[in-house]
């Protein structure tokens, strides 16, 4: 099989299962690709080459002894560095965890291993997942393979870039306000934020516990569905994990049939003020969906205009608490312990040295929003807005089966363009945030390249909670139609590296 | 060190009215921790009962221990509380090295149980007085790790160079029970406080939810107090921690009344602060000032889902409640046919359960009481241990009483048997055999001893024969001495008189 | 208007040893953010219940069974300072 790195996950898996190619060859091809391009892309913080080859060998041995292999056995994967991988560095893009190796595996990692997926390494991210550009990583930014002077999105820019650079056919990201979907959108790849509670958070370093979800990323919808099925499902170690059967996302991706479906455009997210190429590709995609037999309807979610405000109160509040544990006492960085400083001082010096400016900003914002006297006006109010947004979604889903919007207002902006303007950065998430607040499922998939800059544009599909399969049905149908039209996935047009 | 001054108690209490409050923390005796499956065994090697969750490792997540919830509900029911139909955990955010996450998972404005009461009785010179202590709330939280301070002289924080942390204790379920402010206790405030903690402890023990040992830290008590002049609004209160025994509860309360009275009557202001009680001096010293109340920034714990006990579950748990101590005491007083005063003696000796078990083992209540509140209590006090730590069981007493009944033992011998049992020489029969403690019942041996005694006191026989039967006492005494008390005195006397041909 | 003093207080609460420049810088940025998010109180009426969990779930428990803990070496391996089988931490000034 030629050019292993350009194959889909499904194709690789079947080739490995058939014995056409060995898992070791597949793994090695991707490790070679990483060696060739990652100095420029910087998607990876840590490549676990040895263990990847060992995992691949084990798959080959399994196959040789006649064991049945799972649907993704031997397929390489890039793992966002926010998930605990036993014995391997897990930094969350921060200096405060430099060198820390967790003594345990996240449930997601356990499930990847159980599915014989080969983990190539840990990918770069905005520090503690706070950001929309991966510029806030303490280890330097990741670059968008479409244009190395541009951001790959964030916070999961590393995972998306790894896919777009063909360094891995699968990746795991996490999404708190769009950190899977927005990078997918600006890199021309596919990413899903599953229903809140669908994927275990045990081992996922928490940012905002009531918003975080780990999710599957790939270069096409079917691969994403296969990965989704591998990682989703109840985990008794996570109290917020849904105790119900995972919807059959793979069957839905294969069905790819939107005839008779009602698809809603959210009036408040329909592209006003968005980059013109983004709005254009979005409108064209709607026309395709109509052509495929869906009915497009406009719905209104009037409280969405408060979503950004609510989010930027809830997230920092929960994060300020979740990040308190990084105090230099039990693991990670300890600074200022000269034998004279008190423990209070050492904690403060450690956190000062270990956290970047965006993290500090949000910690203080969160501390403020929770403080006595301000709780009702800030955090308390934000929790109420959450209720209102949930109700908006409920009434929308009474009228339609899925909602759609452009994933984010622009294509990939230049590195450095927004990094000093926090508010401008926050506006990237305006379409993705409401979903996290309500706990719904959503996916971003590429629907074209913007005419003005040739950069990828993503469309977001939103489903009601537990309706993850609808994402894959609609996504696969749309993707199929687009591929029919131009003969290939948009990602194939990414410049050679 | 301390510059506190104290007004004599009687004077203090004549000038001011105390309002007291008690906050108790109970470590549950569950097998596993509150939010993870680590063992809760006491005394294990440092940091051997720790996992990602109780260590607060990045990515770790809590899962609630069902038995902890059940125990909390049972405690609430036993304290006549309302049980919430829906409540949540909350994070209490603050930094301290014994806190793995630098927040504690607790409950804030939604406690699982609230608005209950516990009636306590205080013995006064004029007889018993009842007080109803209202309970504000009973809620669940997790314990912290344990710090040892190194380098300083005293092992205390002040002057220590650094500290060492053992997280075995972190995450053990802790139940917090808070009273509403208790006014109207007057001079009896310290006694009421002690009676409350004692009764609470007994309730908790009867529920079987904790071994409630103050010395071991499974029952911790903070004492709150404010003073006000009659008719005035309540004063500023202080909190005293490190109160590690029932006696200390009373002493700490008394001391604080004396201290605050002195402050107030010399024109000073009571500072809202946390004080630290010292066993050795019976006084407290100032700790952290609570003037700038720490902002804990409570918010609902997002990693846990609400606790919403169904009515069915609550009723199931209510059915598991044992007979509560107050009811039991009334019943036993009646069954044993004793006065309230006598019952109080048994209770104060900490012997109630032991006597009850001994009666259940077949011993007459009066005999059971006699042993436990007499000889055994004396021995326990001498050795400065609790009654139930002596090593004497109700079964031992039952055996001893049976042997006394059939004449094999007398009281004096019984005491020696207890000594042997306590010394660890084995059970009753083993001790008797080893020490040869049986009552001498062989008439031949007794007669021989009688003859010896008569020979040694020749004129006594004449006295007895001539009608001074009391003189027999001297002979009996001599025989008892010769047999090392292992004779039955009454029998000796009877044999002696028979020997001399005298009738009673 | 969030003042520099308030920012300093927040930094203390959050155990962040900020520099003077940072204090000034963050005060300005936080202010801008706070103004933009303040609008949420407009719609947060008294009759709207707050949502703390996006997906309604309740009563999730585990059985009270003890299971093996982490090997102590794993804790020691990650610790910044370790002595006598314990985490060594700098001197504490205040009684808790």
Tens digit of pLDDT for each residue in A220-232?
999 999 999 999 9
C-alpha to C-alpha distance for B152 and A125, rounded to whole angstroms: 45
Contacts of A318 in chain B (CB under 8 A): 299, 302
Residue B103 binned pLDDT confidence (cut-offs 50, 70, 90): very high
Residue C12 at interface with chain B, using a CB cutoff of 8 Å: no
Nearest to B56 by CA among A285, A322, C5: A322
Tens digit of pLDDT for each residue in C21-39?
888 888 888 887 888 778 8
CB contact under 8 A, A371 and C54: no
Tens digit of pLDDT for each residue in A179-210?
999 999 999 999 999 999 999 999 999 999 99
What CATH number labels B443-500?
Answer: 1.10.10.410
Residue B163 has a pLDDT of 95
Residue B291 has a pLDDT of 53
Separation of first and last alpha carbons in chain C? 34
Is residue A342 a part of any domain in this protein? no
Q: Is the pLDDT of residue C96 over 50?
A: no
The ipTM is 0.96
Residue A384 binned pLDDT confidence (cut-offs 50, 70, 90): very high
Residue B464 has a pLDDT of 84
Q: Which residue has the tokens 């202001």?
A: B269
Q: Is the pLDDT of residue B290 over 60?
A: no
Mutation site for B-interface testing, chosen from A101, A109, A237, A314 by largest number of B Cβ within 10 Å: A237
Those residues whose C-beta lies under 8 Å from the C-beta of residue B307, and which sit 6 or more positions away, are: B64, B69, B84, B86, B87, B88, B89, B112, C58, C59
Q: What is the pTM of this model?
A: 0.89
Q: How many residues would you count in chain B?
A: 504
Nearest to A157 by CA among A439, A440, A481, A425: A425
Note the CATH architecture for domain C1-42. Orthogonal Bundle (1.10)
CB contact under 8 A, A388 and C43: yes
Those residues whose C-beta lies under 8 Å from the C-beta of residue B437, and which sit 6 or more positions away, are: B409, B413, B416, B417, B420, B431, B486
Number of domains composing chain A: 1
* Per-residue tokens: A256: 């790819």
Query: Residues 22..81 of C with a Cβ closer than 8 Å to B: which?
Result: 52-53, 57-67, 69-70, 72, 75
Q: In what order do the strands lie in the sheet with B146-150?
A: B146-150, B162-166, C86-90, C82-83
- Whether the CB-CB separation of A432 and A426 falls below 8 Å is answered with no
Is residue A369 a part of any domain in this protein? no
Nearest to A82 by CA among A13, A30, A157, A135: A157
Q: What secondary structure, in 3-state letters, does B378-411 show?
A: HHHHHHCCCHHHCCCCHHHHHHHHHHHHCCCCCH
Alpha-carbon Rg for chain C, nearest whole angstrom, is: 22
Q: Is the pLDDT of residue C18 over 70?
A: yes
How many C-alpha atoms does A463 have within 13 Å on its Cβ side? Answer: 23
C-alpha to C-alpha distance for A338 and A333, rounded to whole angstroms: 14
Residue B1 has a pLDDT of 46
In this structure, of A128-137, B129-138, B320-329, the range with the lowest mean pLDDT score is B320-329
| B103-106 vs B90-93, strand pairing mode | antiparallel
Is residue A326 a part of any domain in this protein? no
- Whether the CB-CB separation of A156 and A146 falls below 8 Å is answered with no
Residue B445 has a pLDDT of 81
Domain ranges for chain B: 9-316, 325-435, 443-500
Closest partner residue to A343 among C2, C80, C90, by Cβ? C90
Helix orientation angle between A381-399 and A307-322, rounded to the nearest 10 degrees:
130
Domain that holds residue A39: 4-303+387-493
Tens digit of pLDDT for each residue in B351-394?
888 999 999 999 999 999 999 999 999 998 888 777 888 889 99
Tens digit of pLDDT for each residue in B65-83?
999 999 999 999 999 999 9
Query: Residues 305..344 of A with a Cβ closer than 8 Å to C: which?
Result: 306, 308-310, 312-313, 320, 324, 327-334, 337, 339, 341-344
Nearest to B396 by CA among B365, B366, B420: B420
Residue B473 has a pLDDT of 86
Judged by phi (left if over 0) then psi (alpha if -120 to 50, else beta), residue A139 lies in alpha
Those residues whose C-beta lies under 8 Å from the C-beta of residue B477, and which sit 6 or more positions away, are: none
How many C-alpha atoms does B119 have within 13 Å on its Cβ side? Answer: 8
- Coil, strand or helix at A117: coil
Residue C26 has a pLDDT of 86
C-alpha to C-alpha distance for B65 and B86, rounded to whole angstroms: 17
Q: What percent of chain A has pLDDT over 90?
A: 93
Tens digit of pLDDT for each residue in B198-220?
999 999 999 999 999 888 889 99
Residue B288 has a pLDDT of 63
Q: Chain B: nearest CA to C82, how far in angstroms?
A: 8
Is residue A27 a part of any domain in this protein? yes
**Residue of chain B whose alpha carbon sits nearest to that of C67:** B37
| Overall average pLDDT of the A255-282 stretch | 93
A22, A80, A193, A241: the catalytic one is A80
Backbone angles phi, psi at A210, to 5 degrees: -90, 5
Q: What is the CATH number of the domain that holds A29?
A: 3.90.1300.10
Q: Is the pLDDT of residue B470 over 90?
A: no
A94, A132, A137, A155: the catalytic one is A155
């Amino acid at each position: 099989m030629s050019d292993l790195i350009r194959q889909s996950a499904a194709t690789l898996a079947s080739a490995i299962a058939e014995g056409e190619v060995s898992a070791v060859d597949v793994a090695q091809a991707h490790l070679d690709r990483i060696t060739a391009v990652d100095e420029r892309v910087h998607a990876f913080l840590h490549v676990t080459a040895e263990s990847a080859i060992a995992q691949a060998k084990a798959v080959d041995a399994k196959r040789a002894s006649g064991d049945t292999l799972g649907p993704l056995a031997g397929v390489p994967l890039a793992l966002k560095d926010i998930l605990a991988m036993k014995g391997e560095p897990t930094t969350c893009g921060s200096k405060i965890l430099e060198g820390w190796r967790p003594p345990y595996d996240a449930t997601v990692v356990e499930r990847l291993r159980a599915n014989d997926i080969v983990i190539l390494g840990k990918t770069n991210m905005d520090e503690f997942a706070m950001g929309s550009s991966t510029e806030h990583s303490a280890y330097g930014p990741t670059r968008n393979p479409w244009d190395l002077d541009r951001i790959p999105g964030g916070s999961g820019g590393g995972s998306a870039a790894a896919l777009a650079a063909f360094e891995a056919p699968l990746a795991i990201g996490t999404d708190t306000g769009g950190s899977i979907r927005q990078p997918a959108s600006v890199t021309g790849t596919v990413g899903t934020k599953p229903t809140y509670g669908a994927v275990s958070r045990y081992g996922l370093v928490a940012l905002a516990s009531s918003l975080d979800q780990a999710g599957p990323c790939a270069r096409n919808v079917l691969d994403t569905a296969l990965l989704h099925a591998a990682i989703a499902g109840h985990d008794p170690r996570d109290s917020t994990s849904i105790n119900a059967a995972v919807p059959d996302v793979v069957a839905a991706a294969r069905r790819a049939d939107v005839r008779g479906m009602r698809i809603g455009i959210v009036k408040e997210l329909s592209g006003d003020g968005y980059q013109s190429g983004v709005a254009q590709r979005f409108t064209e995609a709607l026309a395709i969906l109509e052509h495929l037999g869906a009915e497009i309807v406009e719905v209104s979610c009037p409280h969405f205009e408060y979503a950004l405000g609510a989010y930027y109160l809830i997230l920092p509040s929960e994060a300020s608490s979740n990040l308190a544990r990084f105090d230099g006492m039990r693991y990670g960085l300890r600074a200022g312990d000269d034998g004279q400083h008190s423990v209070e001082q050492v904690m403060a010096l450690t956190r000062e040295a270990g956290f970047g400016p965006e993290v500090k900003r949000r910690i203080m914002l969160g501390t403020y929003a929770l403080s006595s006297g301000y709780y009702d006006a800030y955090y308390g109010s934000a929790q109420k807005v959450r209720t209102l947004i949930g109700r908006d979604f409920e009434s929308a889903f009474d009228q339609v089966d899925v909602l759609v919007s452009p994933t984010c207002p622009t294509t990939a902006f230049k590195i450095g363009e927004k990094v000093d303007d926090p508010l401008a950065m926050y506006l990237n998430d305006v379409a993705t945030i409401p979903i996290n607040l309500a706990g719904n499922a959503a996916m971003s998939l590429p629907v074209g390249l913007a005419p003005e800059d040739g950069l990828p544009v993503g469309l977001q599909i939103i489903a009601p909670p537990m309706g993850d399969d609808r994402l894959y049905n609609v996504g696969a149908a749309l993707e199929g139609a687009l591929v029919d039209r131009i003969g290939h996935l948009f990602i194939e047009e990414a410049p050679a590296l | 060190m301390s510059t506190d001054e104290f007004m004599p108690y009687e004077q203090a209490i004549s000038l001011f009215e105390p309002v007291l409050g008690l906050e108790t923390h109970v470590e549950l005796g569950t097998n596993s921790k509150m939010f993870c499956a680590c063992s809760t065994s006491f005394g294990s090697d440092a940091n051997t009962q720790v996992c990602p969750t109780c260590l607060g490792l990045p990515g770790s997540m809590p899962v609630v221990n069902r038995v902890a919830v059940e125990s909390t509900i049972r405690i609430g029911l036993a304290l006549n509380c309302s049980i919430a139909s829906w409540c949540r955990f909350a994070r209490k955010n603050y930094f301290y090295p014994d806190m793995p996450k630098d927040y504690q998972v607790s409950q804030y404005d939604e406690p699982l149980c609230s608005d209950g009461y516990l009636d306590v009785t205080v013995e006064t010179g004029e007889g018993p007085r009842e007080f109803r202590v209202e309970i504000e709330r009973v809620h669940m939280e997790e314990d912290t790790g344990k710090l040892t301070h190194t380098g300083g002289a005293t092992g205390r924080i002040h002057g220590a160079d650094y500290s060492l942390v053992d997280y075995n204790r972190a995450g053990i379920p802790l139940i917090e029970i808070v009273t509403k402010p208790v006014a109207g206790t007057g001079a009896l405030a310290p006694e009421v406080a002690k009676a409350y903690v004692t009764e609470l402890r007994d309730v908790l023990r009867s529920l079987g939810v904790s071994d409630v040992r103050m010395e071991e830290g499974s029952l911790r008590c903070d004492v709150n107090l404010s003073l006000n002049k009659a008719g005035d609004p309540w004063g500023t209160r202080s909190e005293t921690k490190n109160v590690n025994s029932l006696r200390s509860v009373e002493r700490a309360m008394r001391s604080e009344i004396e201290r605050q009275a002195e402050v107030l009557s010399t024109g000073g202001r009571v500072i809202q602060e946390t004080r630290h009680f010292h066993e050795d001096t019976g006084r407290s010293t100032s700790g952290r000032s609570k003037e700038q109340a720490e902002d804990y920034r409570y918010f609902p714990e997002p990693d846990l889902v609400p606790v919403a006990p169904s009515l069915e579950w609550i009723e199931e748990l209510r059915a598991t409640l044992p007979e509560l101590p107050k009811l039991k005491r009334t019943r036993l007083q009646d069954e044993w046919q004793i006065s309230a005063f006598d019952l109080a003696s048994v209770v104060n000796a900490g012997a109630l359960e032991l006597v009850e078990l001994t009666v259940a083992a077949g011993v007459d209540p009066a005999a059971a009481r006699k042993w436990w509140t007499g000889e055994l209590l004396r021995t326990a006090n001498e050795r400065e241990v609790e009654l139930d730590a002596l090593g004497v069981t109700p079964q031992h007493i039952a055996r001893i009483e049976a042997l006394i009944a059939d004449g094999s033992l007398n009281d004096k011998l019984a005491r020696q048997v207890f000594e042997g049992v306590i010394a660890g020489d084995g059970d009753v029969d083993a001790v008797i055999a080893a020490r040869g403690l049986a009552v001498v019942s062989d008439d031949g041996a007794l007669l021989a001893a009688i003859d010896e005694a008569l020979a040694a006191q020749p004129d006594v026989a004449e006295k007895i024969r001539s009608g001074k039967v009391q003189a027999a006492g001297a002979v009996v005494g001599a025989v008892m001495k010769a047999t090392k008390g292992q004779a039955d005195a009454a029998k000796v006397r009877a044999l002696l008189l028979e020997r001399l041909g005298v009738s009673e | 208007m969030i003042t520099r003093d308030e920012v300093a207080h927040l930094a203390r609460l959050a155990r962040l040893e900020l520099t003077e420049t940072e204090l000034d810088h963050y005060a300005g940025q936080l202010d801008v953010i706070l103004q933009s998010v303040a609008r949420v109180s407009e719609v947060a009426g008294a009759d709207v219940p707050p949502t703390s969990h996006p997906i309604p779930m309740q009563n999730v428990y585990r059985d009270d069974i003890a299971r093996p803990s982490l090997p102590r070496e794993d804790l020691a391996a990650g610790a910044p300072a370790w002595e006598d089988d314990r985490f060594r931490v700098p001197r504490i000034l205040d009684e808790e």
